[in-house]
């Protein structure tokens, strides 16, 4: 099938590359000429494992291309995916300016062949009908009478760091629409993923479940999923904070409750809490929607507040151990909000940098892929390696659990430091190994 993907960020580029990989003809539409030039060369403008090889594969095969020409991309396609950002506004609403611009730009090119317009961006509930209205308002009377399009909500469930796997081997595919014709068209597009026919040697995989819903339900499913996962993390961090006070071990608690099939083992890792582009934005947008209809969601508010407070547990632990932080050298291991990505959006490390810098600490940072913090560059010193970070440090803090940080040689790092203090913000270091290297080890809920 012929597919257009509008927007080439994390979601858009992965979507385009994966649809090309399973056999469709895909064009990526992007207004930034620099991004278009890079993508045409098979260069991924961000870090996402496995995406660049698929990008280069599709370009070489001739079924993946990129353009900034709206007319070319839209008229050539049967299915059009909207993958633009909906960032949070100061009021807590989702900023839908990019969504509005895309919808109105589509109207002149929707004539003749029927097209399914798919929102893959996380959009406020009700956006499907709103997009339909925007497009129809920008159409000519002849276009409106032709019923040339239908809108489908197809929320993405891609985790940064494993987005390609999540796309090709999903837990489920959700399609929501009031147009049966549009939803059937998109379902046809997903057939290679549903039946796993694109995967050689993995015929034993069960078909992926495809769920068809109303527009509103599909839009709500994404918000509900992210809100639940974020709440689960905030919950286990609450339990960790209690464990620290009563002597329990949060790892044992998580194992004990996670084996209950009603709860499950995933997302029960205590630490500095969640970050990234989705959880906080989606929870606050959902909260804002609920309030518009007269309901105040207390649990959602608490989930966000617990997460923000959790980030400051590192500062509290450092204060308890080092007392005055002014004049202390603190090294942060990891900056990205999670391993496998260079994404700094809502990253806990940024809050730690600000708090420690304001407390008068000298903040040193090291991350395998992040080497630029924008305006915060003046607040930190970038280390060239873990060893460089440890030199003269009063404490090191594990912020992002990159694989290379899980096997830290503490025996080597210890002599380099002024004070042997390690704060394990992800519970990824063995406390026994830290003790053997004569470190004061401070975990979360341990």
Q: Which of 125, 159, 322 is nearest to 229 (CA)?
A: 159
Look at residue 202 and tell me whether its pLDDT is greater than 70: no
* CATH number for domain 222-308, candidates 3.90.50.10, 1.10.1040.10, 3.40.50.261, 3.40.50.12280: 1.10.1040.10
Tokens encoding 252: 């044992």
Look at residue 382 and tell me whether its pLDDT is greater than 60: yes
Residue 311: the pLDDT is 94
pTM of the model: 0.92
Tokens encoding 319: 């204060």
Look at residue 144 and tell me whether its pLDDT is greater than 90: no
CATH 3.40.50.720-classified regions of the chain:
2-213, 312-442
Spot the catalytic one: 4, 83, 243, 278: 278
- Measured in degrees and rounded to the nearest 5, phi and psi for residue 37 equal -65, -45
What's the pLDDT tens digit per position in 207-238?
899 999 999 999 999 999 999 999 999 999 99
Q: Is CATH 3.40.50.720 the right assignment for the domain spanning 2-213? A: yes
* CATH number for domain 312-442, candidates 3.40.50.1100, 3.40.50.720, 3.40.50.1370, 3.20.20.70: 3.40.50.720
Look at residue 142 and tell me whether its pLDDT is greater than 80: no
Q: Give 149's pLDDT tier (boundaries 50, 70, 90).
A: very high
Q: For residue 425, what is the DSSP state?
A: T
Tell me the pLDDT of the chain averaged across its residues: 94
How many C-beta atoms lie closer than 10 Å to residue 268's C-beta?
A: 20
What's the pLDDT tens digit per position in 31-80?
999 999 999 999 999 999 999 999 999 999 999 999 999 999 999 999 99
CA distance 300 to 274: 14
Look at residue 285 and tell me whether its pLDDT is greater than 60: yes
Q: Give the CA diameter of the chain.
A: 78
Q: Which of 101, 89, 94 is nearest to 31 (CA)?
A: 101
CA distance 331 to 388: 10
CA distance 140 to 136: 8
The residue assigned the tokens 């009700």 is 126
Q: 281, 88 in Cβ contact below 8 A?
A: yes
Q: In angstroms, how far is the first alpha carbon of the chain from the final one?
A: 53
Give the helix/strand (H/E) hosting 244. helix 215-246
What's the pLDDT tens digit per position in 359-374?
999 999 999 999 999 9
Q: For residue 392, what is the DSSP state?
A: T
Mean pLDDT value across residues 367-385: 96
CATH 1.10.1040.10-classified regions of the chain:
222-308
- Note if 278 is an active site residue: yes
Mean pLDDT value across residues 336-348: 95
Q: Which of 427, 396, 392, 425 is nearest to 410 (CA)?
A: 396
Which residues, listed in sequence order, are joined to residue 330 by a DSSP beta bridge? 363, 395
Mean pLDDT value across residues 261-280: 95
Which residues, listed in sequence order, are joined to residue 306 by a DSSP beta bridge? none
Residue 201: the pLDDT is 59
User: Sheet harboring 440-442: ordered strands across?
Assistant: 380-382, 362-366, 329-333, 395-398, 421-424, 440-442
Look at residue 200 and tell me whether its pLDDT is greater than 80: no
């Amino acid at each position: 099938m012929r597919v257009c993907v509008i927007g080439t960020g994390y979601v858009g580029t992965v979507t385009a590359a994966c649809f090309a990989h399973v056999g469709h003809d895909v064009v990526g539409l992007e207004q930034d000429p620099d991004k278009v030039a890079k993508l045409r060369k098979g260069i991924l403008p961000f870090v996402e494992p496995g995406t660049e090889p698929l990008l280069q594969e599709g370009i070489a095969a001739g079924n993946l291309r990129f353009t900034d020409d709206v007319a070319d991309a839209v008229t050539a396609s049967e299915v059009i995916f909207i993958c633009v950002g909906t960032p949070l506004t100061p009021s807590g609403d989702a900023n839908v300016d990019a969504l509005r611009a895309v919808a109105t730009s589509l109207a002149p090119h929707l004539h003749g062949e029927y097209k399914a317009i798919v929102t893959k961006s996380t959009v406020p509930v009700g956006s499907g009908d709103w997009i339909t209205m925007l497009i129809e308002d920008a159409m000519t009377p002849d276009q409106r009478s032709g019923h040339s399009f239908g809108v489908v909500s197809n929320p993405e469930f891609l985790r940064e760091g494993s987005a390609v796997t999540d796309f090709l081997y999903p837990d489920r595919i959700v399609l929501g629409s009031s147009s049966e014709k549009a939803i059937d068209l998109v379902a046809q597009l997903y057939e290679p993923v549903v039946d796993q026919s694109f995967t050689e040697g993995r015929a034993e995989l069960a078909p992926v479940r495809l769920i068809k819903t109303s527009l509103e339900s599909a839009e709500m499913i994404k918000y509900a999923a992210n809100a639940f996962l974020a709440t689960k993390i905030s919950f286990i961090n609450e339990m960790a904070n209690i464990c620290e006070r009563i002597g329990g071990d949060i790892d044992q608690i998580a194992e004990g409750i996670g084996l209950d099939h009603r709860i499950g083992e995933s997302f029960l890792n205590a630490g500095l809490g969640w970050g990234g582009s989705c959880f906080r934005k989606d929870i606050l947008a959902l909260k804002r929607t609920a309030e518009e209809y007269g309901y105040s969601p207390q649990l959602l508010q608490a989930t966000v507040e617990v997460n923000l407070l959790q980030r400051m547990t590192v500062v509290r632990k450092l204060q308890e151990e080092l007392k005055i932080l002014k004049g202390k050298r603190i090294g942060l291991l990891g900056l990205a909000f999670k391993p496998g990505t260079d994404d700094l959006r809502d990253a806990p490390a940024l809050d730690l940098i600000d708090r420690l810098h304001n407390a008068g600490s000298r903040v040193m940072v090291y991350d395998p892929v992040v080497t630029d913090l924008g305006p915060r560059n003046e607040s930190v010193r970038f280390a060239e390696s873990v060893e460089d970070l440890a030199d003269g440090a009063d404490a090191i803090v594990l912020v992002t659990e990159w694989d290379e940080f899980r096997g830290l040689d503490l025996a080597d790092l210890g002599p380099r430091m002024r004070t042997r203090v390690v704060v394990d913000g992800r519970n990824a270091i063995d406390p026994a190994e830290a003790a053997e290297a004569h470190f004061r080890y401070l975990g979360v809920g341990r």
